[in-house]
Amino acid sequence: MNINLFDFELPESLIAQKPSDKRDHSRLLVINKDNHTYEDKNFYDIIDYLRPGDVLVRNNTKVIPARLVGIKEVTGAHCETLLLKQVGDDVWECLTKPAKSLKVGARINYGEGKLIGEVIKIKDEGLRDIKFYYEGIFLEVLDSLGKMPLPPYIKEQLCGNDRYQTVYAKYSGSAAAPTAGFHFTENLFKRIKDKGIEVVDITLHIGLGTFRPVKVEDTDNHVMHSEEYEITKEACDILNKAKKEHRRIIAIGTTSVRTLESNIQEFGEFKATKKDTNIFITPGYTFKAIDCLITNFHLPKSTLIMLVSAFMGREFTLEVYKHAVEKEYHFFSFGDSMFIYGK
């Protein structure tokens, strides 16, 4: 499909620069994708649209301070490194800038020698495999030197890094947050569980596959980078039981969708596994895993708006987005949310 089919006008003023004062006080657009109706609510109202027996699936990945600024040894030139995913012992696939000067063997000094990176493999599009040398525990070193990898469209600094994490973040490894989960609080989850709704955790460490822009005109030519996911047997048992009993499975965020759909497409049912996925969901895709979706408002011409378009139809998606712009909903990571369901 032509990438321009997923374009829309978005005033820059609607790009959220900071999170709402209270997580669950962001706005919520509730959408019936079958009846093509929608209504304006607040996020805490979502409890009214969840049913006893529903299964709510959340991605419990935790964002690491993955953005590093270092100095290239020998030349003294500054360079930026964004850790995307671990590919070996102390080896990470990284997005580097400027990449051309980072040849195999190049060494980068971060934090006056506390962390040294050595390029061991050159990949396309500015990607490099870098082996890191340090003393102590890697994540502790990273915590002391790295910065949270906020998207480039966010210009303001956060008061605290916890607002770029979900309240249920558990396993470190992401270069970006599963932002649809930002709206949930511990109290809201308690109310959800008290209503008879099950909450299931899965893990997908977010890397370049999720936020890489589409640079080709024909979406068929876009290649998704792989990201690692894990689903436990306990989670699979709950999900498979819900499927057999025709209860709704509700994904919190597009990363949860991609994890669940990848898994069920491969195995025919939910199966415990840990592996990579590069699934790219566009209109024409048949959903097998999920029934409903909670998601933020996404970038024009992004893989994420394509996924949403596949779920509720491209033309209706653009109609909904037009309404969101007119009603001045906030967009992207710290923006407002949608709950999309069927009859």
- Tell which of 145, 176, 196 closes a domain: 145
Match 């499927």 to its residue by tokens: 243
Name 89's Cβ contacts closer than 8 Å, sequence gap at least 6. none
Match 């669950």 to its residue by tokens: 24
Q: Is residue 154 part of a domain?
A: no
Which helix H or strand E contains 311, and what residues bound it?
helix 303-312
N-term to C-term CA, the chain: 28
Instruction: List pLDDT tens digits, range 33-46.
Output: 999 999 999 999 99
Q: Is residue 190 part of a domain?
A: yes
Q: What is the dihedral of CA 93, 97, 101, 102, to 10 degrees?
A: -20
Residues 29 and 53 in one domain: yes
Specify the higher pLDDT residue, 158 or 45: 45
pLDDT computed for residue 219 by the predictor: 86
Residues 106 and 192 in one domain: no
- Asked if pLDDT for residue 119 goes beyond 90, the answer is yes
Q: Is residue 194 part of a domain?
A: yes
Q: What integer is the mean pLDDT of 304-312?
A: 97
Return the minimum-mean-pLDDT range out of 176-185, 203-212, 302-311, 312-321: 203-212
pLDDT computed for residue 284 by the predictor: 96
Instruction: List pLDDT tens digits, range 4-38.
Output: 999 999 999 999 998 888 999 999 999 999 999 99
Residues 256 and 329 in one domain: yes
**For residue 79, what are the domain limits?**
67-145
pLDDT computed for residue 114 by the predictor: 92
pLDDT computed for residue 155 by the predictor: 77
Residues 197 and 52 in one domain: yes
- Asked if pLDDT for residue 160 goes beyond 70, the answer is no
- Tell which of 95, 110, 145 closes a domain: 145
Residues 214 and 283 in one domain: yes
Q: In whole angstroms, give the CA distance from residue 144 to residue 138.
A: 10
Residues 185 and 204 in one domain: yes
- Asked if pLDDT for residue 224 goes beyond 80, the answer is yes
Residues 98 and 193 in one domain: no
Q: Which of 266, 276, 278 shows the shortest CA–CA distance to 303?
A: 278
Q: Is residue 185 part of a domain?
A: yes
- The C-alpha angle with vertex 210 and arms to 148 and 122, in degrees rounded to 5, equals 80
- Tell which of 145, 169, 194 closes a domain: 145
Residues 170 and 313 in one domain: yes
- In percent, the amount of the chain with pLDDT more than 70 equals 97
Instruction: List pLDDT tens digits, range 45-104.
Output: 999 999 999 999 999 999 999 999 999 998 999 999 999 999 999 999 999 998 888 999
Residues 31 and 7 in one domain: yes
- Asked if pLDDT for residue 177 goes beyond 80, the answer is yes
Residues 239 and 103 in one domain: no
pLDDT computed for residue 211 by the predictor: 65
Q: Is residue 9 part of a domain?
A: yes
pTM of the model: 0.93
Q: What integer is the mean pLDDT of 90-119?
A: 93
- Asked if pLDDT for residue 124 goes beyond 80, the answer is yes
- The C-alpha angle with vertex 317 and arms to 312 and 319, in degrees rounded to 5, equals 135
Q: Is residue 155 part of a domain?
A: no
pLDDT computed for residue 159 by the predictor: 62
Following DSSP, what letter does each residue of 272-286 receive, concatenated? Answer: -EEEEE-----TT--
Q: Is residue 150 part of a domain?
A: no
Q: What integer is the mean pLDDT of 148-164?
A: 77
- Taking residue 225's Cβ as centre, other Cβ atoms within 10 Å add up to 18
pLDDT computed for residue 125 by the predictor: 82
Residues 167 and 253 in one domain: yes
Indicate the pLDDT class of residue 157, thresholds 50, 70 and 90. low
CA distances from 340 to 49, 103, 112, 313 (A): 10, 46, 49, 12
Q: Is residue 15 part of a domain?
A: yes
Q: Which of 93, 173, 178 shows the shortest CA–CA distance to 139?
A: 173
- Asked if pLDDT for residue 250 goes beyond 70, the answer is yes
Q: What is the mean pLDDT of the chain?
A: 94
**CATH code where residue 94 lies:** 2.40.10.240
Residues 207 and 289 in one domain: yes
- Taking residue 75's Cβ as centre, other Cβ atoms within 10 Å add up to 10
Indicate the pLDDT class of residue 225, thresholds 50, 70 and 90. confident
User: Residues 187, 259, 209, 114: is their CA dihedral positive or negative?
Assistant: positive
**CATH code where residue 268 lies:** 3.40.1780.10
How many domains are contained in the chain?
2
Indicate the pLDDT class of residue 209, thresholds 50, 70 and 90. low
- Asked if pLDDT for residue 337 goes beyond 90, the answer is yes
